Amino acid sequence: MTALPDRTERRLGLVIDLDTCVGCHACVVACKGWNDQGYGAPLSDQDPQGGAPQGTFLNRVHSYEVVPERGPAQHVHFPKSCLHCEDAPCVTVCPTGASYKRVEDGIVLVEEDACIGCGLCAWACPYGARELDLAAGVMKKCTLCVDRIYNEALPEEDRVPACVRTCPAEARHFGDLSDPESEVSQLVAARGGIDLMPEQGTRPVNKYLPPRARDGWGEETDVLAPFLAPVAEEPQGFLGWLDRTLGRL
């Protein structure tokens, strides 16, 4: 089994704004594209044009409709990937040491040459963040684009995970969550960032910013009222003349 480090020098991770995410899946496409040409083996697809396509993805977006007791329904788009937990159960359950957590930045990775594809890490992960690549026969997971963020050959603005760089709504943020002065830490403090399933005790590094209440939530709201209001106190122009003429008949 693999041991977790006592501490990490940094806690690199993502902060995802559920209020801003529009569910466009640009992050999913960017993640798939980058990981097909970067770290590790490409993410395979099986029967992509057939009747039962399947494939390996490190980032997925789930969409839900939330219906409150009062007020209009709201769609929430929920991106999901590895949370790089401080107490990562996927690491401690690995029988070959293929899964490990880095001391320098807290990123959880898989050494693919040591992975035997047993799937124990997928069973241990409460978030469903690991996937078996059927072509490679090894487990795959989000790497926080470790081959991008330290690549000095890239422009500085590109040294972030591909999903962050491509998000058109700027719903994804990357940084060091151990630094209280970092942008991501300040976002978490200002918006009440939350852990996913804290009862699992995994202490995920990634945080989610909850969606804010929409106008009219919790109140009796007539959604047709703006369209039924009169456009003028008295009819004007031809319609005004016609109304006055018909009124004299």
CATH code at position 122:
3.30.70.20
- Dist CA 182 CA 11 (whole Å): 11
Q: What is the pLDDT of residue 218?
A: 47
Residue 245 included in any domain: no
Residue 157 included in any domain: yes
Residue 217 included in any domain: no
Residue 70 included in any domain: yes
Residue 5 included in any domain: no
Low-confidence ranges of the chain (pLDDT < 50): 218, 220-221, 223-224, 227
Residue 188 included in any domain: yes
Residue 203 included in any domain: yes
Q: What is the pLDDT of residue 1?
A: 65
Q: Is 239 helix (H, G, I), strand (E, B) or coil?
A: helix
Domain that holds residue 191: 12-209
Q: Are 123 and 25 in contact (CB under 8 A)?
A: no
Measured in degrees and rounded to the nearest 5, phi and psi for residue 30 equal -65, -40
Taking the model in full, what pTM does it have?
0.82
Q: Is 54 helix (H, G, I), strand (E, B) or coil?
A: strand
pLDDT tens-place string over residues 64-95: 988 877 777 888 999 999 999 999 999 999 99
Residue 155 included in any domain: yes
Question: Hey, which residues does 140 pair with through a beta bridge?
Answer: 131
Structural domain count of the chain: 1
Of the candidates 168, 160, 152, the residue with the CA atom closest to the CA atom of residue 184 = 160
Q: What is the pLDDT of residue 141?
A: 95
